[in-house]
Amino acid sequence: MDNFDLILDNCLKEMSSGASSLDECLARHPEHAARLKPLLQTALKIERGRAIQPMREFKARARTQLYAHMQAHPRRRVWSFSPAWRVAVSLAALVLAFFITGTAFAQGALPGQELYGWKLSSERAWRAVAPDKVAVDLSLADRRVDELTAIAADPARKAEALNEYNEVLARLSSERDAQNDETIVKTLKAHKEKLSAVGVSVPDLDNLLMHSGSNEIIPPSPQSLPSVVPSLPPIVPPGLISTPSPTRKP
């Protein structure tokens, strides 16, 4: 602490205790009077401000206004979570992030790969909540065709992909109506061309395209019905059958 700081500290103590006034301190240290005066004046103002006490009426009015403001603007309750809850929320967020990341990676999986089952499960969940089931099934059918073309040379994996594609075809067959039949048939024809290019034949797809344009159940052909109806003996009520009466001997 330099000489000026010591002088300032002594003057503040003397003024606070009442031992000296502002003018007396400045008179004792004329060489520092220009620097001391504004600092000591500020200290005096602060000291006087501390001595100010609000009137009792002002306190009562301020308290009433504060209470009315608190009633009109209630403070929202801030929920506090225990450490256990914080850990549980963090774990849930981690699991959710892992699930979303794993689902994104699974979309590129092919039959026979580890994430393919995850891919199918996420697709079932997507279809369950989708408002337009036909649109989802058409998209899933496109995915199955892409998988079939990618693994057409692997018989084991090809069988699994065919099974999944046939399931989608069965759903599309049951979903056909006057509104979506044209879209479904157009998509299936594109599938036929794409699969034929890699040498993959799907009998269920051929059968569905063969009956395209008709949304009704196809009745059996006339050749499958019997041409001759066997005749049955007439049924005569028992009361109408006459029985011969016994002959009397002479």
Average pLDDT score, the chain: 76
Q: How far apart are the C-alpha atoms of 5 and 90, rounded to whole Å?
A: 55
The DSSP secondary structure of 171-230, one letter per residue, reads HHHHH--TTTHHHHHHHHHHHHHHHHHTT---HHHHHHHHTTT--SPPPPPGGGS-SSPP
Residue type, 129: V
Q: How far apart are the C-alpha atoms of 173 and 134, rounded to whole Å?
A: 10
- Confidence (pLDDT) at 219: 35
- Confidence (pLDDT) at 230: 42
Please write the tens of the pLDDT for every residue from 56-69: 777 777 788 877 87
Orientation of helix 116-129 relative to helix 133-150, angle to 10°: 160
Its pTM stands at 0.47
Checking if the pLDDT of 122 tops 80, the result is yes
Q: Give Cα separations from 9 to 2, 6, 17, 78, 192 (angstroms).
A: 11, 5, 12, 47, 98
Averaged over 10-32, what is the pLDDT?
Answer: 85
Percent of the chain with pLDDT over 70: 68
Domain map of the chain by residue range? 1-73, 109-215
Confidence of residue 105 (pLDDT cuts 50, 70, 90): low
Helix (H) or strand (E) holding 7: helix 3-17
- Confidence (pLDDT) at 221: 35
- Confidence (pLDDT) at 189: 92
Of 165, 188, 164, the residue nearest 176 (C-alpha): 188
Of 82 and 63, the one with more pLDDT:
63
Neighbours of 167 (CB within 10 A): 16
- Three-state DSSP at 31 gives helix
Q: Give Cα separations from 172 to 175, 204, 206, 207 (angstroms).
A: 5, 11, 14, 13
Neighbours of 10 (CB within 10 A): 15
